[in-house]
Amino acid sequence: MNTHPMTLLTIVAESILKDRLVHEIRNIGAKGFTITDVSGEGSRHRRVSELLGDNGKIEIIVKRETADKVLEVLQKEYFISYAVIAYMSEIQIVRENKYS
Amino acid sequence: MTLLQMFQSNICSPMVLAFAFGIVCRVIKSEMAIPRDLYTSLSIYLLFALGLKGGVELSHCEWRQILLPGIVTIAIGCITPVSAYLTLRYFGKFSIADAAGIAAHYGSVSAVTFIAAEKFVVGQLGEGSVVPFMPTLLTLLEIPGIQVALAIGVIGLAKSRRNVDDGSAATSTSMATVWHELLTARSMVLLVGGMVIGFIVKYEGYASVKPFFDKGDWMFKGALTLFLLEMGLVAGSRLADLKHAGVFLMVFGVTAPIIHGAMGVYLGGLAGLDVGSCTVLGAMAASASYIAAPPAVRMTLPEANPTFYLTAALAITFPFNLLIGIPLYFRMAQAMVGQN
């Protein structure tokens, strides 16, 4: 099977940010995304999840440049004030034209 | 009935005891928990039922009756966030974001406190002792309080940033986004949507769903009791945060509702409302939101510490109103508006 290198960017953010982040990601140029409801706790400690919701994990498969642009937006607008983490990894995919 | 007897009869209702039971469950570290989806379902049911009944009653009201109470309610919604903000900022020395975040909660209204106040008044004075358009006032009070406080916070922060210019690039959500968030928030949509449906179907159409939705029926009372159990669990799990909240916030969480409640009762009287309705309006003015306000504040003022506003609203003010506040506002209404 022919595979191609791509970047998997994973963002875990408090759930109220889901819509906003999806909007940002779309604007930057990701073609699709996957959201999973997740729960956990980080350096900002517990929030009241009954009232504010748990966390959302957003995964996108994009080119490295696009992932970098998303990270820049996160750095500039979100990391300071909200509970957000992001990480990326290099992955292999099939059907390259589906993602870019 | 003396004030003490009133407190006693208030505390011995299934709702209040369920709330206390929820706190006990957390204190003894029981694993008992109400699933998130049930909590969401219950809050949808309660808000929709509230809107529906309000709409039905509204369809039989004259607009002239509502005009003055409506104006007074909006005025309360604009005053309470400002008084809360100034107190917190200048006496409590809270940061701009924290003061505005807490003020947004106290400016807005708690639907469950509203229902509890109405139940209490009906228990004291009988059916028909609260004007039927109260849910409309609840909806009117929901929005301005949050908006005014958020505006104070956003403008205050922008000013202080310009002065310091520390180069921090915190988000500033546009006011259009905030408006959209607030007007489409779950509590707002359910209250207004229910009200429109109730207004259209009137008593005749409402009769077919009445046993399921009506405030006087067993289904609503049962759901409310379960919801209060969950509120007790949440409040109980915030108790440990009280020590982070500090003495000032604890004092604020009790005195702000008393002052706002007295103002609500007084202004309700000026608008021509009767003792029962003034009590409920007072309880509304005194209450702090925990359905609409937390997400709005988190989005717009992320710098505000959720521990402060959630602990104050849920672990201090809500139980205070439920246990002591409501009978107190009733007494105030009797004294200010007249015995009946």
Q: Domains (ranges, CATH) in chain A?
A: 4-94 (3.30.70.120)
Tokens of B37: 């989806």
Per-residue pLDDT tens over the stretch B268-303: 999 999 999 999 999 999 999 887 788 888 888 888
Per-residue pLDDT tens over the stretch A12-63: 998 888 888 999 999 998 999 999 988 887 776 555 555 667 789 999 999 9
Tokens of A10: 């994973």
Contacts of B155 (CB under 8 A, 6+ apart): none
Inspect the interface and report whether the beta carbons of A52 and B306 lie closer than 8 Å: yes
Inspect the interface and report whether the beta carbons of A51 and B310 lie closer than 8 Å: yes
For residue A37, what is the enclosing H or E element?
Answer: strand A34-38
| Per-residue confidence band for B147, with pLDDT thresholds at 50, 70 and 90 | confident
Per-residue pLDDT tens over the stretch B188-227: 889 899 999 999 999 999 999 999 998 778 899 899 999 9
Tokens of B34: 């109400």
Question: With 90 as the cut, is the pLDDT of residue B319 above it?
Answer: yes
Give contacts of B314 with chain A, Cβ < 8 Å.
48
Question: With 50 as the cut, is the pLDDT of residue B52 above it?
Answer: yes
Strand partners, A34: A59
Q: Chain B residues with CB-CB distance to A under 8 A?
A: 36, 39, 168-171, 230, 234, 237-238, 290-291, 294-295, 298-299, 302-303, 306, 310, 314
Among chain A residues, the shortest Cα distance to B236 is held by A48
Q: Is A11 helix (H, G, I), strand (E, B) or coil?
A: strand
- Number of neighbours of residue B91 by Cβ within 10 angstroms: 11
Tell me which residue in B171, B234, B299 faces A77 most closely, judged by beta carbons: B171
Inspect the interface and report whether the beta carbons of B306 and A48 lie closer than 8 Å: yes
Give contacts of A80 with chain B, Cβ < 8 Å.
168-170
pLDDT value at residue B214: 87
Q: Is B15 helix (H, G, I), strand (E, B) or coil?
A: helix
> Residue B326 in contact with residue B286, Cβ under 8 Å?
no
Cα(B211)–Cα(B87) distance, integer angstroms: 45
Per-residue pLDDT tens over the stretch B114-127: 999 999 999 899 88
**Percentages helix, strand, coil for chain A, rounded to the nearest 5?**
35, 35, 30
Cα(B279)–Cα(B149) distance, integer angstroms: 25
Give contacts of A49 with chain B, Cβ < 8 Å.
36
> Residue B110 in contact with residue B288, Cβ under 8 Å?
yes
Tokens of B140: 């009117």
Residues in chain B: 340
Per-residue pLDDT tens over the stretch B56-75: 988 888 888 899 999 999 99
Q: Does A39 touch chain B (CB under 8 A)?
A: no
Inspect the interface and report whether the beta carbons of B234 and A81 lie closer than 8 Å: no
Contacts of B150 (CB under 8 A, 6+ apart): B100, B104, B178, B296, B297, B300, B301
Task: Give the gap in angstroms from C-alpha A63 to the nearest C-alpha of chain B.
Answer: 26
Inspect the interface and report whether the beta carbons of A48 and B238 lie closer than 8 Å: yes
Of the CATH numbers 2.60.40, 1.20.1530, 2.40.50, 2.40.30, which one belongs to the domain with range B35-337?
1.20.1530
* Residue among B169, B146, B187 at smallest CA distance from B45: B187
Among chain B residues, the shortest Cα distance to A45 is held by B307
Q: Does the ipTM exceed 0.85?
A: no
Q: Does A49 touch chain B (CB under 8 A)?
A: yes
* Residue among B303, B296, B270, B316 at smallest CA distance from B94: B303
pLDDT value at residue B330: 95
Interface size, chain A vs chain B, as Cβ–Cβ contacts under 8 Å:
41
- B26-35, B43-52, B156-165, B183-192, range with the lowest pLDDT: B156-165
Inspect the interface and report whether the beta carbons of B298 and A52 lie closer than 8 Å: yes
Cα(B306)–Cα(B138) distance, integer angstroms: 24
Give contacts of B310 with chain A, Cβ < 8 Å.
48, 51
Tokens of B306: 């959720």
Q: Radius of gyration over alpha carbons of chain B, in Å?
A: 19
